[in-house]
């Protein structure tokens, strides 16, 4: 399942969700053997980790407590020097305007909860492959 | 004098004859006497004719020689003898009517004048007669026409009246009397008949109006509505309308007019007036703001509710054009204000304009987190424009307060989306983990962990379900109308605490009634509900067995202006960030992870206190405790 990952080094994945069960589900879905997994439970913490670790892929929950929600965090990342990373918004909300807000904030993909782990892996792989192609 | 007169009575004509009219003056006198159409004659003290001029023959048909020496009495109509004969014998200037009988046995009406002159102590007296028969004929013709007129007016709807200012004769038509319930012969034709029946409230105004009309020589019109008492003692509204006839000098000769029964009109007017008052009351009690626009496009009236909504004054609005009204509304509305006032326009008013005077003072606690809720939701007005076809009002604008509807819609939306969110999180776990279990092989330990997680998620789902059901119950209770009644706050708090301890046995609540509090206008059920919610929170976020304190506090000069219910716990407390969100629905504090609830309690309390025009103050410190004060206005709201 990680055949498409064209890199010698394990890509860094940041999982941001206020719910610990969601984080463990996502991390179990991808597995630490393929990705270097990082986690944050809110927007502010996520931004700190992004600066420090510069992850390749960010799975970002939209609705989080605190001053920075998923959309805000996405917008900040996509307008910063870290804009090359893949941001996949992950949310319970499925409304059209949320989808649009995510796109406006520069998200690469948008997945609604409940999601299929298999489908999420495919989305991440496709996204990652595109990024790698664009780089070469 | 008598003697002189006697002598003169015989003397004067003799002298006239005897002097043979020798002088020029005498010639002139003779000519005048002979040519005059007026009869000029003299009588002695017995009334015997001593001189007459030729006009006498023309008037009476008797020759001069036939008449000389005869008593004037013989020519007077028998009806007038007793009245008029002595007048001819009198020695004063006099004018009177007298009827004579002519030689042809015709009755003639004459105007008699007695002229008396005294010169050098000598009294000279002569009389003159003028034929008035012609005038009388005219009067008779007039009388006939009057009779016809009278016939007409007896059947007319209006009562007629006629006043001869010269003779002071009054005429009130049979219909006039009939209108008051009398037969023609029951009332006399005089002014008193009228004045005695005037309503005391109007007697003075009738008198004044009449005098003013008569005094104003340029005026020939008189009109006034007043009441007259009818035979049954009831008041009848009449409209009196009259014409004033004046002579060339403007002196009133006659005044005649009609009275019209306007009782029905007055009754209708009264009903209209009542209806108007009813309407005014309805308009002013209306829960909608109402603005009326006249045909000139200007504000004609505004009702009380519109002023309450907007905080504007009637003086500031009446007479303004629609454009000015719109500009005024724009000035107190949020920027997304409609460009015109039409049906469907929605104005979101700035909250400050309405509730500025209710802003609470905040006493900052040192080192503690504090929040004071305010009535932050702005009032939303929806316009309904209705065009009328009345003479005065062209347009009526209804401003409906839809703040609550919008709030309810928002609440429904929030509820559904938040409930969906709450459900999705555990469902996502169940969905994701089961898919992983199906598609992958896990070692027994991981598998065990996943099953444990799934069980936990299922439990969580059950809890959410229960919370939603609880919320539905609260919402159902909250959806009933608020009813403000005077209650003793102390009793309400005691009941609220009793209700709470019933459900939470073992919970210790220490109730101190520090402030003595007057009766308040509150909805006791909702205040109890609010207290219940705050107590639930205090209990939930406090260590088991710890003390919760409830107190009544007051503030304000003299008599308390505001009265608070203070609930204090020694629980986990809250951060400033938590406090900023505390009144939001579905918000849960950062240190609440292990405590059941979906974040609805304080939002409900907030709504209840808002309704009472009160406010909530919360002082909290993490790991020390929280104090919530529900402030209510001590005065009726």
The CA radius of gyration of chain B, in Å to the nearest whole number, is 53
pLDDT at B4: 41
The pTM score is 0.42
The secondary structure of B337-399 as a DSSP string is: --SS--TT-EEEB-HHHHHGGGPPP--PPTTSEEEE----SPPEEEEEEEE---SSEEEEEEE
pLDDT at B502: 86
Give the integer Cα–Cα distance in Å for A49 and A43.
10
Q: Which residues of chain A does B421 touch, with a Cβ-Cβ cutoff of 8 Å? A: 63, 92-93
Distance from CA of B447 to the nearest CA of A (A): 11
Specify burial of residue A116 (Cβ count, 10 A radius: 0-12, 13-18, 19+): middle
Predicted ipTM > 0.90: no
Pick A115's closest partner by Cβ from B426, B432, B439.
B432
Its domain, for residue B36, covers: 2-131
What's the mean pLDDT in B492-518? 84
Q: What is the CATH number of the domain that holds B346?
A: 3.30.450
- Copy the structure tokens of residue B113: 């004048």
Q: Is there a single domain that holds both residue B197 and residue B310?
A: no
B43: number of Cβ within 10 Å? 22
Pick A114's closest partner by Cβ from B427, B439, B446.
B427
Residue (of B74, B16, B17, B18) closest to B46 by Cα position? B74
Give the integer Cα–Cα distance in Å for A34 and A50.
19
- Maximum pairwise Cα distance, chain B: 180
Give the integer Cα–Cα distance in Å for A2 and A125.
8
What's the mean pLDDT in B456-472? 76
- Per-residue pLDDT reduced to its tens digit, B337-384: 888 888 888 888 876 544 444 333 333 333 445 554 444 457 888 898
pLDDT confidence tier of residue B584, bands split at 50, 70 and 90: low
Are residues B196 and B172 in contact, defined by beta-carbon separation less than 8 angstroms? no
Distance from CA of B451 to the nearest CA of A (A): 12
Q: Is there a single domain that holds both residue B320 and residue B360?
A: yes
Domain for residue B333, yes or no? Answer: yes
Query: Of the candidates B397, B416, B433, which is a domain's last residue?
Result: B397
Is B590 in the A-facing interface, judged by CB distances under 8 Å?
Answer: yes
A1-10, A21-30, B49-58: range with lowest mean pLDDT: A1-10
Distance from CA of A123 to the nearest CA of B (A): 15
Q: Which residues of chain A does B446 touch, with a Cβ-Cβ cutoff of 8 Å? A: 28
The total domain count for chain A is 1
Quick check: B453 and A29 CB within 8 A? no
Query: Minimal Cα distance from A67: which residue of B?
Result: B577
pLDDT at B354: 43
Q: Is there a single domain that holds both residue B538 and residue B599?
A: yes
pLDDT at B140: 64
Q: Which residues of chain A does B416 touch, with a Cβ-Cβ cutoff of 8 Å? A: none
Give the integer Cα–Cα distance in Å for B30 and B510.
136
List the beta strands (DSSP E) in B217-278.
221-229, 235-246, 252-261
Q: What is the CATH number of the domain that holds A25?
A: 3.40.50.2300
Element (H or E) spanning B468, and its range?
helix B444-478
Give the DSSP letter of residue B332: T
Domain for residue A5, yes or no? Answer: no
Domain for residue B452, yes or no? Answer: no
**Strands B519-522 and B94-101: what pairing?**
unpaired
Query: Minimal Cα distance from B422: which residue of A?
Result: A92
Percent of chain B with pLDDT over 70: 81
pLDDT at B470: 63
pLDDT confidence tier of residue B489, bands split at 50, 70 and 90: confident
Quick check: B590 and A65 CB within 8 A? yes
Q: Is there a single domain that holds both residue B239 and residue B293?
A: no
Q: Which residues of chain B does A24 touch, with a Cβ-Cβ cutoff of 8 Å? A: 453
pLDDT at position A74 over 90: yes
Residues 362-401 of B with CB under 8 A from A: none
What's the mean pLDDT in A19-26? 88
pLDDT at position B54 over 90: no
Domain for residue B453, yes or no? Answer: no
Contacts of B274 (CB under 8 A, 6+ apart): none
Domain for residue A36, yes or no? Answer: yes
Give the integer Cα–Cα distance in Å for B586 and B411.
11
- Copy the structure tokens of residue B354: 């309405």
Q: Is there a single domain that holds both residue B163 and residue B86?
A: no
Q: Which residues of chain A does B431 touch, with a Cβ-Cβ cutoff of 8 Å? A: 114-116
Distance from CA of A25 to the nearest CA of B (A): 6
Name the β-bridge partners of B568: B549, B627
The CA distances from residue B410 to A100, B376, B403, B521, B589, in Å, are 21, 15, 10, 29, 22
**Strands A57-61 and A12-16: what pairing?**
parallel
Q: How far is CA B285 from the centre of its chain?
A: 15
Q: Which residues of chain B does A28 touch, with a Cβ-Cβ cutoff of 8 Å? A: 433, 436, 446, 450
- Copy the structure tokens of residue B330: 């724009």
Query: Of the candidates B382, B397, B412, which is a domain's last residue?
Result: B397
Which carries the bigger pLDDT value, residue B353 or residue B463? B463
- CB pairs under 8 A, 24+ apart, for B265-273? B265/B237, B266/B225, B266/B237
Domain for residue B66, yes or no? Answer: yes
Residue B311 Rama label (left phi>0; alpha psi -120 to 50; beta): left
Contacts of A39 (CB under 8 A, 6+ apart): A14, A15, A16, A23, A27
Domain for residue A113, yes or no? Answer: yes
Quick check: B432 and A92 CB within 8 A? no
Q: Is there a single domain that holds both residue B6 and residue B43?
A: yes
Are residues B560 and B518 in contact, defined by beta-carbon separation less than 8 angstroms? yes
Specify burial of residue A85 (Cβ count, 10 A radius: 0-12, 13-18, 19+): buried
Q: Is there a single domain that holds both residue B241 and residue B318?
A: no
Residue B204 Rama label (left phi>0; alpha psi -120 to 50; beta): alpha
Give the integer Cα–Cα distance in Å for B587 and A64.
11
Q: Is there a single domain that holds both residue B177 and residue B92?
A: no
Is B455 in the A-facing interface, judged by CB distances under 8 Å?
Answer: no
Specify burial of residue B87 (Cβ count, 10 A radius: 0-12, 13-18, 19+): middle
Q: Which residues of chain A does B439 touch, with a Cβ-Cβ cutoff of 8 Å? A: 117-118
Q: What sign results for the dihedral spanned by CA atoms B487, B489, B495, B500?
A: positive
Domain for residue B588, yes or no? Answer: yes
Give the integer Cα–Cα distance in Å for A93 and B107.
123
Q: What is the CATH number of the domain that holds B551?
A: 3.30.565.10
Q: Is there a single domain that holds both residue B363 and residue B243?
A: no
Quick check: B433 and A114 CB within 8 A? no
Give the integer Cα–Cα distance in Å for B489 and B495.
10
Give the DSSP letter of residue B72: G
Is B451 in the A-facing interface, judged by CB distances under 8 Å?
Answer: no
Domain for residue A54, yes or no? Answer: yes
The CA-based angle B76-B78-B82, given to 5 degrees, is 85
Is B417 in the A-facing interface, judged by CB distances under 8 Å?
Answer: yes
Domain for residue A68, yes or no? Answer: yes
pLDDT at position B73 over 80: yes
Are residues B546 and B569 in contact, defined by beta-carbon separation less than 8 angstroms? yes
- Per-residue pLDDT reduced to its tens digit, B300-317: 889 888 888 888 888 888
Quick check: B435 and A66 CB within 8 A? no
Q: Which of A15, A42, A117 to mutate to test the interface with B (most CBs of B within 10 A)?
A: A117
pLDDT at position A84 over 80: yes
The secondary structure of B11-47 as a DSSP string is: HHHHHHHHTTT-SHHHHHHHHHHHH-SSEEEEE-TT-
Cis? peptide before A114, omega within 30° of 0 = yes
Are residues A61 and A38 in contact, defined by beta-carbon separation less than 8 angstroms? no
pLDDT confidence tier of residue B481, bands split at 50, 70 and 90: low
Domain for residue B561, yes or no? Answer: yes
Q: How many CA atoms lie within 13 A of B104 on its CB side?
A: 8
Residue (of A16, A35, A19) closest to B430 by Cα position? A19
Quick check: A115 and B431 CB within 8 A? yes
Domain for residue A7, yes or no? Answer: no
pLDDT at position B13 over 80: no
What's the mean pLDDT in B92-102? 85
Q: Is there a single domain that holds both residue B122 and residue B159?
A: no
Give the integer Cα–Cα distance in Å for A127 and B582.
40
Q: What is the CATH number of the domain that holds B194?
A: 3.30.450.20
Domain for residue B425, yes or no? Answer: no
Q: Is there a single domain that holds both residue B489 and residue B629?
A: yes
Quick check: B432 and A118 CB within 8 A? no
Quick check: A25 and B457 CB within 8 A? no
Its domain, for residue A126, covers: 12-135
Q: Is there a single domain that holds both residue B178 and residue B259?
A: yes
Percent of chain A with pLDDT over 90: 43
Domain for residue A78, yes or no? Answer: yes
Percent of chain B with pLDDT over 90: 8
Q: Which of A113, A118, A123 to mutate to test the interface with B (most CBs of B within 10 A)?
A: A113
Residue (of B71, B11, B78) closest to B47 by Cα position? B71
Are residues B540 and B597 in contact, defined by beta-carbon separation less than 8 angstroms? yes
Quick check: B430 and A114 CB within 8 A? yes
Q: SS3 of B239, please?
A: strand
Q: How many CA atoms lie within 13 A of B419 on its CB side?
A: 15
The CA-based angle B594-B597-B598, given to 5 degrees, is 120
Q: Which residues of chain B does A29 touch, with a Cβ-Cβ cutoff of 8 Å? A: 432, 436
Q: Which of B413, B417, B424 to mutate to test the interface with A (most CBs of A within 10 A)?
A: B424
- Copy the structure tokens of residue B205: 């105004």
Domain for residue A1, yes or no? Answer: no
- Per-residue pLDDT reduced to its tens digit, B512-554: 877 777 788 888 888 888 898 889 888 887 887 788 999 988 8
Residue found by looking up tokens 């023309």 in the block: B58
Give the DSSP letter of residue B172: E
The total domain count for chain B is 4
- Mean pLDDT over each residue of chain A, to the nearest integer: 85
- Copy the structure tokens of residue B413: 């939306």
Pick B433's closest partner by Cβ from A25, A93, A118.
A25
Are residues B424 and A16 in contact, defined by beta-carbon separation less than 8 angstroms? no
């Amino acid at each position: 399942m990680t055949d498409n990952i064209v890199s010698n080094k394990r890509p860094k994945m940041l999982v941001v969700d206020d719910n610990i069960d969601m984080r463990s589900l996502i991390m179990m879905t991808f597995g630490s053997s393929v990705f270097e997994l990082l986690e944050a439970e809110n927007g502010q913490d996520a931004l700190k980790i992004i600066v420090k670790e510069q992850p390749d892929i960010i799975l970002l929950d939209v609705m989080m407590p605190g001053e920075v929600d998923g959309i805000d965090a996405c917008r900040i990342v996509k307008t910063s020097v870290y804009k090359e990373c893949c941001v996949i918004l992950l949310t319970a909300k499925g409304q059209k305007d949320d989808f649009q807000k995510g796109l406006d904030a520069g998200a690469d993909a948008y997945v609604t909860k409940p999601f299929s782990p298999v489908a999420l892996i495919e989305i991440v792989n496709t996204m990652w492959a595109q990024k790698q192609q664009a780089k070469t | 004098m008598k003697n002189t007169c006697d002598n003169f009575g015989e003397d004067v004509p003799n002298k006239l004859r005897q002097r043979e009219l020798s002088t020029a003056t005498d010639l002139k006198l003779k000519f005048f006497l002979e040519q005059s159409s007026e009869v000029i004659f003299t009588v002695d003290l017995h009334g015997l004719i001593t001189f007459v001029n030729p006009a006498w023959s023309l008037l009476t048909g008797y020759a001069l020689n036939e008449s000389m020496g005869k008593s004037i009495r013989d020519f007077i109509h028998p009806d007038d003898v007793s009245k008029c004969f002595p007048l001819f014998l009198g020695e004063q200037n006099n004018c009177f009517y007298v009827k004579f009988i002519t030689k042809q046995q015709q009755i003639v009406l004459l105007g008699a004048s007695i002229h008396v002159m005294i010169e050098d102590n000598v009294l000279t007296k002569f009389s003159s007669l003028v034929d008035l028969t012609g005038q009388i004929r005219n009067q008779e013709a007039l009388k006939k026409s009057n009779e016809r007129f009278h016939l007409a007016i007896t059947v007319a709807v209006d009562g007629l009246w006629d006043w001869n200012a010269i003779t002071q004769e009054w005429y009130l038509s049979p219909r006039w009397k009939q209108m008051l319930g009398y037969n023609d012969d029951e009332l006399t034709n005089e002014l008193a008949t009228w004045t005695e029946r005037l309503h005391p409230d109007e007697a003075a105004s009738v008198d004044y109006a009449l005098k003013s009309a008569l005094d104003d020589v340029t005026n020939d019109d008189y009109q006034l509505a007043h009441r007259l008492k009818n035979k049954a003692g009831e008041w009848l509204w009449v409209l009196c309308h009259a014409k004033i006839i004046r002579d060339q000098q403007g002196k009133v000769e006659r005044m005649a007019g009609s009275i019209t029964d306007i009782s029905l009109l007055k009754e209708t007017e009264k009903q209209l007036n009542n209806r108007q008052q009813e309407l005014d009351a309805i308009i002013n009690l209306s829960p909608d703001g109402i603005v009326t626009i006249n045909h000139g496009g200007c504000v004609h009236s505004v009702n009380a509710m519109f002023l309450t909504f907007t905080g504007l004054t009637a003086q500031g609005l009446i007479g303004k054009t629609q454009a000015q009204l719109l500009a005024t509304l724009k000035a107190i509305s949020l920027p997304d204000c409609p460009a015109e006032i039409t049906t469907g326009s929605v104005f979101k008013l700035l909250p400050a304009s309405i509730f500025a005077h209710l802003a609470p003072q905040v006493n900052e606690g040192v080192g503690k987190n504090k929040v004071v809720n305010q009535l932050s939701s702005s009032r939303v007005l929806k316009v309904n424009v209705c065009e009328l076809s009345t003479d005065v009002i062209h347009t009526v604008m209804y401003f409906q307060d839809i703040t609550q509807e919008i709030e309810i819609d928002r609440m429904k939306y929030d509820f559904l989306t938040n409930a969906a969110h709450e459900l999705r999180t555990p469902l996502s776990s169940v969905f994701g983990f089961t898919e992983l279990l199906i598609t992958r092989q896990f070692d027994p330990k991981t598998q065990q962990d996943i099953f444990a997680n799934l069980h936990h998620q299922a439990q969580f789902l059950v809890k959410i379900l229960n919370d939603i059901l609880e919320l539905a119950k609260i919402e159902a209770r909250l959806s009933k109308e608020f009813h403000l009644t005077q209650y003793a706050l102390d009793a309400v708090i005691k009941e609220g605490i009793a209700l709470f301890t019933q459900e939470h046995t073992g919970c210790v609540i220490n109730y101190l009634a520090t402030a003595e509090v007057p009766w308040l206008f509150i909805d006791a059920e909702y205040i109890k509900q609010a207290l219940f919610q705050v107590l639930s929170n205090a209990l939930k976020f406090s260590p088991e067995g710890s003390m919760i304190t409830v107190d009544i506090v007051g503030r304000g000069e003299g008599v308390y202006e505001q009265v608070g219910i203070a609930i204090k716990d020694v629980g986990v407390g809250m951060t400033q960030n938590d406090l900023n969100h505390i009144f939001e629905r579905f918000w849960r504090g950062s240190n609440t992870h292990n405590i059941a609830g979906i974040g609805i309690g304080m939002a409900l309390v907030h709504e209840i206190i808002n309704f009472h025009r009160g406010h909530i103050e919360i002082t909290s410190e993490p790991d020390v405790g929280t104090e919530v004060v529900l402030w209510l206005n001590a005065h009726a709201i």
